[in-house]
Chains A and B, each alone.
Chain A
Amino acid sequence: MGTYVYAITEAGHPLNLDGVHGIGDPAAELRTVRTKDLSAVVSDAPPNLRAKRRDLVAHQGVQDRLMADGAVLPMRFGLVGRDDDQVAAVMEEQRDAYTERLKEIGGRLEYNLKVARDEDDLLREIMTDSDEIRRLNERTRQNPGAHQDRMALGERVAREVQARQERTGSELVARLAAEAERTAVAEPTKTHFLNVSFLVTRERAAALSQAVHEEAARRGDAYAFSLHGPLPPYSFV
């Protein structure tokens, strides 16, 4: 069966888990594994565990509750130890590293920002800036059979799209990182050219949010910013 681990906290964390349920169906009951300096929130691992929606929600729900009362090291989804004793053994073995990390993230929150840009808006900008791309565009419009030109057009545009998205992404990160203690840039997604997480102190969270709103206002309607948080510091543990 095994022991599913949700999060690790300092021993002094109140671990108030009333009304919060674990993964699985029926939902597993949460319990704690304690060592002298650390606590882990765990449950039995359900058989045939996979990343189902309700399980992801439950995993995240435990983090939400714990982070209200203190620093928490969120586990990646889906980690299963042999039993509670093995969890305790790992906590002993990694005590110094975990304690250190808990100190680093104490009083801090993660905010994840994703930014997308309307594609036509970007393509218009690229075409306006490049005579060569406009020329290829006209030629392929008038002659749908011009395969070479079509490929050349697409390749140039793809290169421009990528270069401009990377440039804009770097500019945005540079501006916003000033509000954060740490910054973690992740792979872009299909729709979002920028996917970045910031670690901020509770006091600075409002300032980061305001900076994001100002950037969004500056960039205009063609951009869509989604800011998510506060989150447990998934990207900074």
Chain B
Amino acid sequence: MSVVQQSNAPNSGSGSGNLYDVLELILDRGLVIDAFVRVSLVGIEILKIDVRVVVASVDTYLRFAEACNRLDLESGRKAPSQLTDLVGEATESGAKGKSKGALTGAVEAFSESFQKGRDESEEEEERPARKSSSSSSRRTARRREE
């Protein structure tokens, strides 16, 4: 089991430790006053990217195919009682890092950029404002309804 619970108790400070995890709440929810101007959030609309569109793209298909090809299916056929250990091993041997491959998209670009801002907190964050040609081709990719 794996639970990370962040409790930014009131008065405990800025709650900045987990800011990234609640970023979309601060930027994309909350009360809006129509008559007011909203600060330009260039690049931040990227948060709203439809993950479904990314999933139904040629790029994603190829990544998934590759991920399946290199998967050691035998370990998955072991008895369930052994599964926990196997998953633990796989994680330690670095499979976890690889496993993030298949769902890459613009959102990742945003998180990396934010991560950078996190390290250099006084630096202005570089927003990945440009929509690359690959992301627009994703948009035209066939949308697959479940």
A residues lining the B interface (CB < 8 Å): 2, 5, 8, 49-54, 56-61, 64-65, 67-68, 73-81, 86, 90, 94, 110, 112, 114, 118-121, 123-125, 127-128, 133-134, 137, 140-141, 150-151, 153-155, 157-159, 161-163, 166, 186-191, 195, 197, 209, 212-213, 216-217, 219-231, 234-235, 237
Q: Is B7 an interface residue, CB under 8 A from the partner?
A: yes
Complex CA distance for A231 and B44, rounded to whole angstroms: 21
Given known contacts A52-B124, A190-B105, what 10 new A-B pairs fall within 8 Å (CB)? Answer: A2-B37, A53-B125, A57-B15, A81-B37, A94-B33, A154-B64, A158-B56, A209-B5, A216-B3, A221-B87
Q: Given A59-B26, A76-B29, does the pair A64, B10 have CB atoms closer than 8 Å?
A: yes
Residues of B near A231 (CB, < 8 A) are: 8, 22, 25
Question: Is the pair B124, A187 in contact by a Cβ cutoff of 8 Å?
Answer: no
Which of B67-115 touch A at CB < 8 Å? 67-69, 71, 73, 75-77, 83-84, 87-88, 90-91, 95-96, 98-105, 107-108, 111, 114
**SS of B interface (majority):** helix
Contact of A53 among B5, B58, B73, B117 (CB under 8 A): B117
Instruction: Name A228's contact: one of B6, B71, B111 (CB within 8 Å).
Output: B6
The residue among B27, B31, B95 with the most chain A CB atoms within 10 A of its own CB is B31
